[in-house]
Structure 1
Amino acid sequence: MKQDEGNETMREIAQSVREGAMAYLRQQYKVLCLIFIFMAFVLDAQNKVVPFAFLTGGFFSGLCGFLGMKTATNASARTTSAAMQGLNAALKVSFRAGAVMGLIVVGFALLILPGFLEVNPLPQITVIMLSFGMGASTQALFARVGGGIYTKAADVGADLVGKVEAGIPEDDPRNPAVIADNVGDNVGDVAGMGADLYESYAGSILATIAARDHSDLALQLKYLSAPMIIAGIGVILSILGIYMVRTKEGATMKQLMGSLNFGINGSAVGIAVVSLPLLMYLGLPNVWQIWGAIITGLVAGLIIGKSTEVFTSHDYSPTRAIAKQAQTGPATVIIEGIAVGMESTAIPVITIAVAVAISYYLPGLYGVGIAAVGMLATLGITLATDAYGPIADNAGGNAEMAKLDKSVRERTDQLDALGNTTAATGKGFAIGSAALTALALLAAYLEVSVSQFMSYYDVTLMNPKVLIGLFMGAAMAFYFCALTMKAVGRSAGAMVEEVRRQFREKPGIMRGEEKPDYARCVEISTVGAQREMILPSLIALVVPVAVGLIFDVAGVLGLLAGGLTTGFVLAIMMANAGGAWDNAKKFIEEGKHKDEYGEKGSEQHKATIVGDTVGDPFKDTSGPSLNILIKLMSMVSSCSLVS
């Protein structure tokens, strides 16, 4: 906040984005308050403390998104101003603003979770923790789905009419959807993502706690404390890693990515070194096995991150292959992008499979949860690399609308292209941790509550109820994506018609003589997102309960297993395909290889814009919402049965 926000025009643009973002959040929280009050009333019949835990989880998940978005909307114009000085100055402002999001998430989680351990008898801890996680998951899903619909409706409208039809730059002030697009970056990629990863972070700790049952009270408390100690170490080392991130003028994409990876990898190595003596001090009997599971989670996170970088960064061949296909039109761009997304699932799936095998055979089911904690221990800095992307994107829009020197936009575009890669990496990281967390929750469902009924309910693959649940879980992932993508399509259609109407009825807009009606486009995205987010989000809450009532425990276990496996692979595919399409477009926009790939404004560029438009709901709405879906279904199932 001490940084200069630039000239009057830059400040006015930033203020318009802030007002639009806050207006959206106010409307969303009004809707969510009604839903949470109703659910708290239902949960009150089970246990008087459960509604409090549920509301607390939802409140802090929403608060993380709110504070992160407030920081981001204050940082965008300041990043633009810093870009006037140089690339490193802009990176510092945007990255440290993103770090606020990362540290808020881990800070609130570690502020609240230990309190439940202190104030509740040990037998109640599992149900209280799961209720807290269910509240955080519910808020995260609504935030992610609603924010994703908002941002992609605005983005698609701005791209298809502004860039493709009217032939004006992406953030041209003549485009009526430009402010809504910038608002969308914040409500979807910052507020929604903050609530999402708060839930992932808290969920990994909750799953580890719920997966351990021991008759010795003192030993049990040590096992409950271990994931929080690891998370606490991660906070300190993430802060150190944040200050390690810096770059030089004229840095390439690979050098910029190396700067961020230096901070992330440094934090991960620090956790690996420091966690062992602290676990020994805690006095756990199988300390080496637990430490091995933590290392497994850390390494798995780094591998998934690097794999995502290779498949989405335009420094590597998969994304360049998409740009190459633009020579034959948008159809081949879309075909190649889908193929890249599908191909990119292999390494994350193998990585998670190996991580689960190692972590399970070291300290058992508890190891799967502690591996997820290890993977997310660096979330303070990992989330910073993700949250800074929308800030850099908004900074570029501010530079374009304020008509600043071309060099300023070039610097913000460098940071924005990097942000697309780090955002995809962050999504892969979140999805990978979601798989481990959901598996640990599934294990908790079995170990804490169901183990004595496994024979009674015949939970085997020969039981048709299990198979029915498997098919329903797999279908849930696809049906959920269908609902969210159709929601984006409907809202984007309304946005496209509005932008066309303004261009048609106000010809002075294109000549720069009339000001577009930005507020109308913001309103269209806000109303559309609020209306469309309800059905997909409620399905995640209703289906596990309905399956449990009809097909009992066997059906629910099948549902969770099918949803976990299918949802994980589908989420990776959608996030990476969308990221690759986006960076293929930016690769052509850079113009460094225009003889081979084309340049900005060419037919090849327009083909990649179409691909990017298809990829928008893939990577920013449906894909990232799936990781919440699979965890929320596990939370609802476990919480219902344990209660």
Structure 2
Amino acid sequence: LGPIMLPLMIAGVGIIFSIIGTLFIRIKDNSAKEPEVQRALNMGNWISIVLTAIGSYVLIKMLLPETLHMTFFGEGTASNPEGYKEVTQMAVFGAVMVGLVVGALISYFTEYYTGLGKKPILDIVQKSATGAGTNIIAGLGVGMISTFAPILLFAAAIWSSYAFAGFYGVAIAASAMMATTAMQLAIDAFGPIADNAGGIAEMSDLPDEVRERTDILDAVGNTTAAIGKGFAIASAALTALALFAAFVTFTGIDGINIFKAPVLAMLFVGGMVPVVFSALAMNAVGKAAMEMVKEVRRQFKEIPGIMEYKAEPEYDKCVAISTKASLREMMLPGAMTIAFPLVVAFLPMLFGYSSQDSAEMLGGYMAGVTVSGVLWAIFQNNAGGAWDNAKKSFEAG
């Protein structure tokens, strides 16, 4: 049971070490600016990662034998048809370190592309001086170039963790990367909490110094939100590969051959799905925003005295519009993600294809979704964070 319990135990100690990491997040005084706040959060994150690495080493020594004998799909040879492979304790620990190090590096690159005062942000600010068009071009460029380093890190993580311990190593690397999920979720949630705090401070007409502090937290929160999502994207990419191995083993197919026309066709279909999903989600946001603007304009027109603080706006109607629109408009994108795999899996069998062929097509579809989805996720995550902090730079003068 040791190999099965190990990822669960790593996740468990990761939660404990994330809590310990929060104790190291300290600001010396209330005059701290964005760099000091960011460094404090980074310190808690790094402490959690280092402690998780130490704890994982202890767990591996406790739970695993010196050498594991495992069978890996696709590793069979003439002399070793079953694909048996010996995996040492240190090889498993190597996979753990791959997950932790890659996660930390992704945090670094995400902070670089979205952090206030960093070169990509300053570049967007500079190009925004000539108009909205160059602002959009600069932001899109930052989002696109930001995929370079994370994708190379993903590739290195997949390759090296597999070299250490096969697909088990890939799964362990993903588990290690997500071991500090508690810290990552806290860092991710920090952004919108600070943003809403700033909105409340402004609506409550609190002193300027309060708004200045919430603006600092909001600017850092834009970066931390991007960092948290970057972790989620990275772990999803590694987990997807581990699930591929489980899918191939479960279906009994020999592999996913993209030289077959139906498989290649489904590869392209899979690559299309994240793009269409993103388009539907953006259109949903646009429709909800239009409804919100119409409601606000109606209240300004029909309820005199709002701007002079003599009448109370109908806040509940605005909240209802946001809630209903978000649920209604996201039904189609959500249904699409469920329906497409089912169609790809079962529709070919109606046209005479075997279940094995359909399984291979589904594998091609999932490969397309994974690659396209990871690229789009990184691009949108970092471009959004960069634009947001470029706006903060303008507001700060």
Instruction: Measure the CA separation in 1 of the matches of 2:197 and 2:274.
Output: 35
Q: Would the aligned equivalents of 2:121 and 2:387 in 1 still touch at CA under 8 Å?
A: yes
1:518 to 290, 296, 315: 315
Q: Does 1:589 align with 2:395?
A: yes
Please state if 1:454 is matched with 2:248: no
Residues 437-467 of structure 1: per-residue CA shift (max 9 Å, x gap): 11111121113x13x3327xxx312111210
Matched residues, percent identical? 46
Q: Does 1:260 find its partner at 2:41?
A: yes
- Aligned match for 1:373, one of 154, 157, 175: 175
Aligned partners of 1:504 and 1:332: how far apart in 2? Answer: 35
State the SS of the aligned residue for 1:246: coil
Provide the TM-score with structure 2 as the length reference: 0.89
Letter of the 2:6 partner, please give it.
A
User: How far apart in 2 are the matches of 1:461 and 1:530?
Assistant: 37
Give the AA of the match of 2:117: D
Query: How far off is 1:248 after superposition?
Result: 2.2
- Extract unaligned runs of 5+ from structure 2: 68-87, 349-357
> Aligned pair 1:330/2:132, yes or no?
yes
Match of 1:531 in 2: 328
1:458-499, Cα deviation, whole Å (9 max, x unpaired)? x31211121011101100111111111111111111111111
Of Structure 1 and Structure 2, the greater helix share is in 1
1:549 paired to 2:351: no
Q: Distance in 1 between matches of 2:298 and 2:202?
A: 23
Match of residue 472 from structure 1: 269
* Number of matched pairs: 366
Structure 1 equivalent of residue 111 of structure 2: 309
State the alpha-carbon separation in 2 of the partners of residues 420 and 232 from structure 1.
28
Conserved in 1, the CA contact under 8 Å of 2:116 and 2:220? no
Which residue does the alignment assign to 1:398? 200
Matches within 5 A, 1:52-131: none
5+ long unaligned stretches in structure 1: 1-220, 592-643
- Whole-Å separation in 2 of the counterparts to 1:494 and 1:234: 43
Q: Paired residue for 1:235?
A: 15
Residues in 2 aligned to 1:254 and 1:403: alpha-carbon distance in whole angstroms? 27
2:299 maps to 1:499: no
Letter in 1 for 2:11: A
Letter in 2 for 1:463: K
- Residues 570-609 of structure 1: CA deviation (Å, up to 9, x unaligned): 1100011011111111111122xxxxxxxxxxxxxxxxxx
2:342 and 2:274 mapped to 1: Cα distance? 17
| Residue 100 of structure 2: aligned partner | 298
User: 1:506 offset after TM fit, Å?
Assistant: 3.4
- Specify which of 536, 560, 567 is matched with residue 373 of structure 2: 567
Counterpart position of 1:224: 4
CA distance in 2, matches of 1:441, 1:234: 22
Aligned residue for 2:263, secondary structure, equals: helix
Residues 413-492 of structure 1 mapped to structure 2, 5 A cutoff: 413-447=215-249, 449-450=250-251, 452-454=252-254, 459-492=256-289
Q: Give the CA deviation at 1:564.
A: 0.3
Letter of the structure 2 residue corresponding to residue 571 of structure 1: A
Shift of 1:507: 4.4
1:112-261 matched pairs, under 5 angstroms: 221-249=1-29, 250-261=31-42
- Structure 1 length normalisation: TM-score? 0.56
Q: Any idea what the Cα deviations from partners look like across 1:168-208, whole Å, max 9, x if unmatched?
A: xxxxxxxxxxxxxxxxxxxxxxxxxxxxxxxxxxxxxxxxx
Partner of 1:454: helix, strand, or coil? coil
Q: Which residue of 1 aligns with 2:50?
A: 269
Match of 2:83? none
**Contact preservation (8 Å) 1:238, 1:380:** yes
> Cα deviations across residues 277-329 of structure 1 (Å, max 9, x unaligned)?
32112133221111000100000101111101000112201011111222111
In structure 1, what residue type is equivalent to 2:7?
Answer: P
Q: Name the structure 2 match of 1:98.
A: none
1:254 alignment partner AA: P
The answer (yes or no) to whether the contact 2:3–2:64 under 8 Å persists in 1 is no
Corresponding residue of 1:62: none
CA distance in 1, matches of 2:298, 2:128: 30
Retained in 1: the 8 A contact 2:253–2:360?
A: no
SS in 2 for 1:388: helix
Q: Deviations over 1:21-80 (max 9, x none)?
A: xxxxxxxxxxxxxxxxxxxxxxxxxxxxxxxxxxxxxxxxxxxxxxxxxxxxxxxxxxxx
* Corresponding position of 2:351: none
Question: Pick from 146, 149, 160: which aligns with 1:347?
Answer: 149
Structure 1 stretches of at least 4 aligned residues deviating more than 4 Å after TM superposition? none
| Residues 188-245 of structure 1 deviation map (CA, whole Å, 9 limit, x = unaligned) | xxxxxxxxxxxxxxxxxxxxxxxxxxxxxxxxx2111010111122122111101111
1:319-342, Cα deviation, whole Å (9 max, x unpaired): 111112221111111111011000
Paired residues of 1:290 and 1:363 also in contact (CA < 8 A):
yes
